[in-house]
Structure 1
């Protein structure tokens, strides 16, 4: 049993839905279901009653839920206290990353670099841009790799932002690009142009923050993607592209806490990302 399992369990219980919890946690529903099943196996009891597409927490699940909430609160307190006391001696690095960058940022390379050079380990999580910035600000993670669009973000003025790449949003399609297309884009990006009057955003538009899911919808379902141009560098098939109008710029940035001095490990990691990630 680990804290990740407990956090996932609490989210499912609060949402009363695996689908909604998976969306909130930015993980796939099968992965979330497997995690909860593993937790139930470890505890030797069912935490939810699953029936006809609905879930209901069991009496035992309610007890576990209250204990899990207490454990999570104490876990966060201990983590944050330790970071404030001695940030130089951290043995675990927590990094968040915008899900749309999952095909751009090679997490395996980062983990290998950290392990080889510092004998430490990294945990990785996704989230919306506002969630990731807030997590850095509240010291729940050490650093975030975010894609920032032309819009306002909460807490951004309270954290350090180091831009490592700049680009533009484009259309990408395996067919023709016109107003009759079915569009797919990320939830964060959609906030920049969502409007009932915008013909690019119609009733067939889908929102997902998973880069591979967007690619699949373009390749096999005939959708037109609205994505950062850097994403296409990692697609394995040629597609038609066009400039998004009106123009939307974006920045890929490394986000760290302004009130805490970066540890040597984080400094090394930032340097490694800038020098070795293919941006």
Structure 2
């Protein structure tokens, strides 16, 4: 059994599917099934219960999972540290980005980074902000983009966007044409909201409760363009970052400043204080500081 076997095992455990794991690893499904079977025979235990639609870890599989994660993580760190020592400007950065932030900020930045560092591969994973925080913490991601605040005892934080949410609504809505709207005025409105794994879902819900009501969530989505289209056809109101609102068609969607309270949308790149950050990851952060015109650190990351 080698590190590749453990990687295959971890991917199957993550997706609870041989087919999905094979797609992620770019191998055939029979290849990964054969590899897992070989590991089970070598260890003398069944790692997965295959009797259900979605395979599940057995007790033995769950016991091995923790050790396998630690071994693979240590191996990855060893490879990264060796590459740093040898000054090989190669590697992979796993960056988690909420769908709301990808298109407005990152395509041009990634293109320029790739031009400067063609040997460094950026692997983008789209998830909600809360999921990204968990995956940066457990090492599944090297760097994540999160909505502030986050636990700064746990994460290093590099803020790069300061913005506010605006109310967006159909042009025929009773509140359309107003320069500003108080949050409490949305008490009876159907909300088109972000999914629950988005930090903004929690932030908006908390702000509404403090304003005296719980939002009536009619629809949920992870995509700002889908949210805006549902607003455009009159299915409800939504709160979108001002950066996103600039991209909307004012003939189809009205926007107003939100007040009492205003809700901030402040973004930061985060990475774990307790995990090694590769040369590639440190280069990305240095590049991001320059690109977003952010203050340089006073000492080496």
User: What range is the shorter-chain TM-score in?
Assistant: 0.5 to 0.7
The residue number in structure 1 matching 2:116 is 117
Contact 2:147–2:200, Cα closer than 8 Å, also in 1? no
Out of 33, 43, 46, the position equivalent to 2:29 is 43
What whole-Å deviation, never above 9, does each CA across 1:40-89 have from its counterpart, x for those lacking one? Answer: 992247x999xxxx93439xx97xx88x9576554333223434555464
Out of 180, 192, 208, the position equivalent to 1:184 is 192
The residue number in structure 2 matching 1:240 is 254
Distance 1:73 1:212, change over 3 A: farther
TM-score between the two structures when normalised by the length of structure 2? 0.62
The residue number in structure 2 matching 1:159 is 155
What whole-Å deviation, never above 9, does each CA across 1:95-150 have from its counterpart, x for those lacking one? Answer: 1112321331334x3443233211221101133334433444554433222232xx
Q: State the aligned residue count.
A: 247
The residue number in structure 1 matching 2:74 is 77
Counterpart-to-counterpart distance in 2, 1:228 and 1:274: 18
1:4 to partner: Cα distance: 9.6
1:6 to partner: Cα distance: 7.0
Counterpart-to-counterpart distance in 2, 1:141 and 1:37: 20
Contact 1:103–1:231, Cα closer than 8 Å, also in 2? no
**More displaced, 200-209 or 238-247?**
200-209
- Alignment partner of 1:209 is 2:222: yes
Q: Which secondary structure does the structure 1 equivalent of 2:105 belong to? A: coil
Over aligned residues, Cα RMSD in angstroms?
Answer: 4.4
- Alignment partner of 1:254 is 2:272: no
Superposition pairs for residues 190-229 of structure 1, below 5 Å? 190-194=201-205, 201-220=214-233, 222-229=235-242
Distance 1:111 1:127, change over 3 A: same
Distance 1:139 1:172, change over 3 A: same
| Largest Rg, 1 or 2 | 2
Q: Which secondary structure does the structure 2 equivalent of 1:242 belong to? A: strand
Contact 2:10–2:69, Cα closer than 8 Å, also in 1? yes
Contact 1:254–1:270, Cα closer than 8 Å, also in 2? no
1:233 to partner: Cα distance: 2.4
What whole-Å deviation, never above 9, does each CA across 1:199-231 have from its counterpart, x for those lacking one? Answer: 764444433332233223223452211122212
The residue number in structure 1 matching 2:283 is 265
Which sections of structure 1, spanning at least 5 residues, go unmatched? 14-31
1:268 to partner: Cα distance: 4.3
Counterpart-to-counterpart distance in 2, 1:268 and 1:234: 29
Out of 55, 58, 78, the position equivalent to 1:57 is 55
Which sections of structure 2, spanning at least 5 residues, go unmatched? 34-47, 176-185, 294-301
Distance 1:219 1:76, change over 3 A: farther
What whole-Å deviation, never above 9, does each CA across 1:136-185 have from its counterpart, x for those lacking one? Answer: 4554433222232xxx533x333322222211122111242454432112
The residue number in structure 1 matching 2:164 is 168
Q: Which secondary structure does the structure 1 equivalent of 2:163 belong to? A: strand
